[in-house]
Each structure stands twice: as C-alpha cells, then as structure tokens.
C-alpha cells in the first residue's frame, strides 16, 4: 500500500494516477470494444440501443457509486491516521452493504427498464435490443459492485496498481468473448452483454482471491463480517451527496438522451460513439480526481494541510497539460474516431460535430473535476453535489433544451461547455474559502500504546 503523506506532492499524485488511469482506460474498453463490435457487426440501430441503455443503468446504480466513494474516503482517512482497526471495520461494512444493494438494484432494473426506455422516447426500432442489453447487464450487477468495492478499498489504502493488473486480463477476456458471442455465434446485442457480465465476474473473483492472499485487514470472507452502524452512517453522510450527484448526473443524461432520441437513430448512434470517445478524453481528469481524493484524505488524516493545497496545485497543472493534448487529438482525429464505431456518414457527422464543440473545453472540465475531487477527499461531498445541480440542471439541461429547438443538435452539444464553465467557477470559489477543512472524518490520533505482539500485524503499516 502507498503512504501519500510523505514525498513530493506532484510526483506522488502522478505516480498514483497513472495505474488508475490505465485501469480506467481498460475498464472503459469494455464499453468501447462492445460498441465497436456491435456498431460494425450488427449495425447503427444496435449501437444506438447500447447508448440509450446506459443512462438507465447509471441512474439505478448511482447512489451505490456514491456510497462506495464514502467508504473509500473513510478508509483513506483512517489509513492516514494509522487507525487499522477502523480500516478493517469499514471494509467489512462496505462488503455487507454493497452485496445487499446489488440485489436490490438488480430487481429494480429488471422491473422498470422497459418503462424508463419508453419514457425516454426510445425509437421503436431499437427498443427490443436496448431492453435485452439492460436485462442481461442488470443480472450481473453483483459482480460489478463486488469488483468496484474491492477497487475502492485498494485505492483508499494507496494501491492503484493491483486493480490494473486484474483489469488487463479481464479486458482482454471481454474483447475475446464479445467477438466470439456476437460475430462467431451470432448472438447479437445479447452476446455483447453476456461477454461483459462474464468478464466482470472473473474480475471480481480475481480481486477477492488477491485480497485473501495479502494482509488480514483486506481479507474477503463470508463469515465473521462485522457491520459497524456508526461507520455506515458516516460513509452515507460522506457518500450520499456524491450518490445524489451521480443520480442527478444520470437524470440529466436521460433528459439529454430524450432530446437526442427526438432526432432519430442516426443522431443517437453518433451521440453514443462520441460519448465513448468523450469518456476516454476526460478520463485523465476523472483519474486525477480520484487520486487527489485519496491524497487529500490521507494528508488530512495525518494533519498535513499545506500538502493538501500543494497537491491540488500539482494536480491542476497535470490536468491542464493532459486536457490540452486530448483536445488536440479529438479535434484532429474526430471523424476517424467516430468511424471506428460505425462508418455511416450521417452517424460520423453527428459524432464528430459533438467532439469539435465539447473538445475545446476539456481543460475547464478537467479543472472542475480535480477541485471537486479535493473537496471529496476532505469529506466535503455536499458542494460537489451542488455543483452538479448548478452545472447540469440549472444550466446544461435548460440551455440544451432551448438551443435544440433553435439550432438543432448543435444546441444540445453547446450546453456542456457552458455548464462546465459555471461549475468550475463555483467549485474553485468555494475551495478558496477554506470551509472544507472543518469536515475531516479522521484527525491525527494520539500515539497508541505499543500493541501486543499478536496484534502487530494490524498496526504495522509497513506490512501492507
């Protein structure tokens, strides 16, 4: 495990971000490989069906994503304070909660998917395929949540490399299975969903096996788990605003999906392809946001407040450099990138136009995400949620809705840059006030008495 409370801030954040970025790239490769195979082997209607399905999946699991973030932040702060007993109880509590939540979300997804698809004005020709994709995906949520919880635990403890190693194998397996099921067996969009489900399941099994072979604090077990109500309430208090933020984001995506659906299958297919490229373009910002959260959490736990500010400055410089490079890439190669998913000229034109408009503002998006990540690491997750409400619902959705009626699809695309600029201004202004410093969950603990010999493993951090 990695202690982020000592050493050069920028180098630590960059070294911690790189494996996580590679892992996120591989994680998103699930969606990209599926979309390329679906868009080329089945057609643009299937590609549009996958795109129409994603906001529904995101909506139903968003609260759980937030809770997972809450547990990860607590783990990082307790680890920074060297309180290994609470680290272990937090891990146990997260396991129990996420297993129960996965069963509940699976049931909700199976029951309400069709109703939500119809509410989103999904074109009739893609509705059956979208429904098939969603039903299979929801059936495997327990694996998605299981792997996600293990990754969050490892990140909270400073280990961003192990999830990457497991993902390398899983992504390669997903690509092979998707090609075999869709092209070889002719299973269509169902084959794509089954490939992802099986690959995620094996990722979780591999991660659980790794935990059982390392430190007892991390051991994944079914018997003897301890549910700590106080830690659970604290994790929800920290993570619920992030969950609500994710839910609001998913709701906004659904509104935008409905707007795009109104322009037909070509528009939805192009939007889906652009969304896959867009996800890769903003991934450095998202990885830096997660890294700065862990960095801030550990340093607040250790009482190093000046390192928190220095770390944020370093993360912003890194994010500026990476976002400028991605902007150049999507603007220059936008047409070719969209054509990888489907060569239909109408689909390519829609996707490339989105990248041209949104790509010029990646530096704004990146800076907003990094500042919000620092706030979350301090336990102040309410303000990032408020930023989401402001940027998405108060600005982006209304702007996109109004402009779509006046200038068409371009109006939907321009809503994003306007919202990002407003969100960054709000987040940076709040961080400058310093109010986030009062919300740390774990301050430096008094030096403990020397532990008994048999308990040394839980206290000696160097054994991680």
Looking at residue 3, its pLDDT comes to 62
CB 274 within 8 A of CB 331: no
Three-state DSSP state, 219: coil
Q: Which of 310, 313, 311 is nearest to 291 (CA)?
A: 311
Average pLDDT value over all residues in the chain: 80
Q: Which of 269, 263, 199 is nearest to 42 (CA)?
A: 269
- The whole-angstrom separation of Cα 84 and Cα 86 is 5
Looking at residue 5, its pLDDT comes to 65
- The whole-angstrom separation of Cα 2 and Cα 464 is 8
Q: Which residue has the higher pLDDT, 379 or 361?
A: 361
Cα dihedral 204, 209, 214, 215 sign: positive
- Summarize pLDDT for 123-178 with one digit per residue, the tens: 888 888 888 888 888 888 888 787 777 777 776 666 767 777 777 777 788 888 88
Six-digit token pair at 369?
A: 């995400």
CB 362 within 8 A of CB 327: yes
pTM recorded for the entire structure: 0.69
Q: How far is CA 12 from CA 4, 347, 442, in A?
A: 7, 42, 21
Tell me the longest C-alpha to C-alpha distance in the chain: 73
- Summarize pLDDT for 77-135 with one digit per residue, the tens: 787 777 777 888 888 888 888 888 888 888 888 888 888 888 888 888 888 888 888 88
Report CA 450 to chain centroid distance, whole Å: 40
CB 130 within 8 A of CB 49: yes
CB atoms inside a 10 Å sphere around CB 255? 18
Q: Which of 387, 459, 463, 439 is nearest to 77 (CA)?
A: 439
Percent of the chain exceeding pLDDT 90 equals 17
Three-state DSSP state, 185: coil
Q: Which residue has the higher pLDDT, 203 or 158?
A: 203
DSSP 302: T
DSSP 450: P
Phi then psi for 124, rounded to 5 degrees?
Answer: -60, -35
CB 135 within 8 A of CB 114: no
Q: Which of 28, 51, 56 is nearest to 39 (CA)?
A: 51
DSSP secondary structure string for all residues of 22-44: HHHHHHHHHHHHHHHHHHHHT-H
Give the least confident one: 206-220, 334-348, 384-398: 206-220
- Summarize pLDDT for 229-277 with one digit per residue, the tens: 888 888 888 777 767 767 777 788 888 888 998 888 889 899 989 988 8
CB atoms inside a 10 Å sphere around CB 424? 23
Q: Which of 390, 386, 409 is nearest to 398 (CA)?
A: 390
Looking at residue 416, its pLDDT comes to 92
Cα of first residue to Cα of last residue in the chain, in angstroms, is 5
Looking at residue 444, its pLDDT comes to 44
Six-digit token pair at 82?
A: 């060297």
Six-digit token pair at 221?
A: 């077990």
Six-digit token pair at 396?
A: 């982006």
- Mean pLDDT value across residues 412-428: 93
- Mean pLDDT value across residues 10-28: 76
Looking at residue 218, its pLDDT comes to 64
Looking at residue 462, its pLDDT comes to 25
Three-state DSSP state, 442: coil
- The whole-angstrom separation of Cα 251 and Cα 55 is 7
Q: Which of 243, 204, 289, 227 is nearest to 70 (CA)?
A: 243
């Amino acid at each position: 495990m990695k202690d982020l409370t000592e050493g050069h801030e920028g180098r630590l954040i960059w070294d911690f971000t790189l494996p996580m970025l590679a892992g996120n790239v591989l994680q998103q490769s699930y969606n990209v490989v599926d979309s390329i195979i679906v868009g080329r082997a089945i057609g643009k209607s299937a590609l549009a069906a996958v795109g129409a399905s994603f906001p529904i999946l995101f909506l139903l699991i968003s609260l759980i994503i937030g809770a997972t973030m809450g547990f990860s932040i607590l783990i990082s702060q307790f680890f920074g304070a060297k309180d290994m007993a609470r680290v272990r109880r937090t891990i146990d509590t997260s396991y129990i909660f996420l297993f129960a939540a996965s069963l509940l979300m699976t049931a909700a997804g199976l029951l309400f998917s069709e109703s939500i698809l119809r509410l989103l004005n999904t074109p009739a020709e893609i509705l059956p395929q979208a429904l098939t994709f969603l039903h299979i995906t929801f059936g495997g949520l327990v694996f998605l949540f299981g792997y996600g919880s293990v990754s969050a635990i490892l990140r909270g403890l400073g280990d961003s490399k192990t999830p990457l190693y497991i993902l390398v194998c899983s992504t390669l397996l997903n690509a092979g299975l998707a090609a075999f099921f869709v092209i070889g067996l002719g299973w269509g969009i169902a084959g794509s969903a089954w490939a992802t489900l099986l690959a995620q399941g094996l990722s979780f099994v591999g991660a659980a096996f790794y935990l059982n072979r390392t430190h007892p604090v991390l051991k994944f077990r079914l018997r003897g788990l301890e549910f700590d109500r106080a830690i659970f309430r604290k994790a929800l208090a920290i993570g619920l605003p992030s969950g609500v933020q994710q839910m609001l984001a998913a709701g906004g995506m659904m509104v935008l999906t409905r707007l795009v659906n109104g322009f037909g299958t070509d528009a939805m297919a192009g939007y889906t392809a652009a969304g896959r490229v867009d996800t890769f373009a903003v991934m450095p910002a998202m990885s830096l946001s997660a890294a700065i959260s862990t960095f801030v959490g550990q340093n607040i736990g250790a009482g190093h407040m000046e390192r928190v500010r220095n770390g944020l400055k370093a993360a912003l410089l890194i994010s500026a450099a990476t976002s400028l490079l991605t902007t150049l890439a999507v603007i220059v190669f936008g047409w070719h990138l969209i054509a990888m998913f489907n060569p239909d000229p109408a689909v390519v034109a829609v996707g490339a136009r989105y990248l041209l408009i949104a790509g010029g503002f990646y530096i704004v998006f990146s800076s907003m995400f990094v500042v919000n990540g620092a706030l979350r690491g301090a336990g102040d997750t309410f303000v990032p949620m408020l930023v989401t409400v402001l940027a998405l619902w108060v600005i982006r959705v209304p702007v996109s809705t109004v402009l779509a009626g006046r200038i068409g699809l371009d109006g939907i695309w321009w809503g994003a840059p306007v919202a990002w600029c407003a969100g960054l201004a709000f987040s940076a202004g709040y961080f400058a006030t310093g109010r986030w410093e009062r919300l740390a969950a774990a301050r430096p603990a008094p030096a403990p008495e020397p532990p008994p010999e048999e308990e040394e493993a839980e206290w000696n951090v160097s054994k991680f």
